Amino acid sequence: MATSESISHPQTETLDVPEWFKHCCADLSRVRTHESASGGRLVGMKAVVTNASRLWDNGQTHVPDLVHLICRSEDWDGNQQNKVKEVLKLWQEHVNLDFNFVEDNDTSAIIRISFDPNRGSYSYIAKDMFLASKTEQTMNLGWVWDNPAITDNEMGNILHEFGHAIGFLHEIKNPRRDEKLKLREKVIIDYYLQTQPGIFNEESVRYNILDVYNLQEVTNFSSLDLKSVMKFFMPAEWNEGNIEVLPNYVLSEFDKAFALLNYPFAPDGDKADDVNAKLEAAFATLNVQDDFKKSILAEITAHDWDGARAEFTRWCINETALADKAKPEVDD
């Protein structure tokens, strides 16, 4: 865990969780507040893994009050709020969504952010935010501090939670995880039981970390992306390959491609060249080719956002089927 020691987290000494754990999101930490909100298994979990049905409708830039950000106690000139605004620009280059910033007395806000260092970091997933009561914060950025300079860790933290806010889940629970990362279940369970007794039991460790999402829960994913801003830090001893999964502070190419193909921009008008270049980059990153690429592009060109997402989902499902077919037969 040497890599995490070089990252400074002012004030985090007050929290009784190990340093590297600060790279993990709420469903891995003590804050597990939302699982019962809708009874759904994914509620409260915080990938380039997502389920198309939970995403925001695309192109909501013309709905002025659809996605509002509200801060709990400060105004949008505050240090923490400015960090959010700055870092959010990185996502906005890849999603056709508009984020408006409003003050904390504006009850129309859908994304409601707090910066409470004692509540870890978490966010509701996209439309699940409608399940929260209006007085509840939908996102906490517990490791974003009140000073002007943005650290790498803060950037990663904000990108990760806004990944959830636009609908992404945890990459570690990718149904295709085992292709690249075989977890040492007993080591992980023992770790949680020893370090957070009373908070985690074997069942909740399995639920939050070990069990991958099933294909009803997630639809839009491909192979495991260990560079995703939606994965979390994992010490080498937690998996059979002894792979130390380091924290990510920037969007991976997969993150960008999935964001764009789930929330595509219209490839016309002044920005047509730029949009088309981004689309081509996304198709190349994911290796979307031939008929799939053509059908997705046709829907995007027609501004049929539901159709585009449906075609992209179809590609994701096909990829999973191909990966399944390629798996070696296992004898019982």
**Residue closest to Zn ion, measured at CB:** 25
- Distance separating alpha carbons of residues 98 and 68, to the nearest angstrom: 9
- Distance separating alpha carbons of residues 275 and 285, to the nearest angstrom: 15
CB of 84 to Zn ion, least distance (A): 16
Residue-wise DSSP of 12-33: GGGS-S-GGGGGS-GGGSS---
CB of 317 to Zn ion, least distance (A): 24
Q: Which is nearer to Zn ion, 46 or 256 (CB)?
A: 46
CB of 160 to Zn ion, least distance (A): 5
Q: Which is nearer to Zn ion, 25 or 155 (CB)?
A: 25
Structural Rg of the chain based on CA atoms: 20
Contact 121, 165 (CB under 8 A): no
Q: Which is nearer to Zn ion, 171 or 311 (CB)?
A: 171
- Distance separating alpha carbons of residues 299 and 305, to the nearest angstrom: 7
CB-based burial, 207-243: b 16+ in 10 Å, e otherwise: bbbbebbeeebbbbbbbbbbbbbbbbbbbeebbeeee
CB of 50 to Zn ion, least distance (A): 12
Q: Which is nearer to Zn ion, 173 or 293 (CB)?
A: 173
Q: Which is nearer to Zn ion, 32 or 83 (CB)?
A: 32
CB of 143 to Zn ion, least distance (A): 12
* Angle in degrees, CA 228, 294, 301, rounded to 5: 90
Q: Which is nearer to Zn ion, 46 or 177 (CB)?
A: 46
CB of 96 to Zn ion, least distance (A): 23
Task: Report the interface residues with Zn ion, using CB under 5 A.
Answer: 25, 46
Contact 49, 255 (CB under 8 A): no
- How many CA within 13 A on the CB side of residue 114? 14
